[in-house]
Amino acid sequence: MVADMNADTMQIGEVAERTQLSIRTIRHYDQVGLVPPSGRSDGGFRLYTAEDVTRLNYVRWITPLGFSLEETAEILRLIEGAEDQSQLADYLARAQASRDKMARKLRQADELIDVLKRLS
């Protein structure tokens, strides 16, 4: 698929800046089919749209929660309204459990920081 560069598309470097993801990570998400670019320039460069950036941000939020690539793809389809809602409750519960675990670790880190600050 070849698309002309225009104001509605951006190359991977700009997408990396907007999403705070590395170019390598964005390429990986393309290679595994999670977020393929919407087009390619005449020179073969990946071209992304604002919708692609939104999708990449969703992936950026999903992956630290421990979901597999397949589950991440399903969650993306759920978010985009193209997937059966039967898995929604499970994904929501798992995301909340991951968040709670991260919150506990953050509290532990804060406690350690407080102890270390008192020593200085």
- Quick check: 38 and 47 in contact, CB under 8 A? yes
Cα-Cα-Cα-Cα dihedral sign, residues 23, 64, 49, 70: positive
Residue 42, classed as helix, strand or coil, is coil
Class for the domain spanning 12-119: mainly alpha
- Quick check: 35 and 8 in contact, CB under 8 A? no
d(CA 9, CA 14): 10
47-99 pLDDT, tens per residue? Answer: 999 999 999 999 999 999 999 999 999 999 999 987 788 889 999 999 999 99
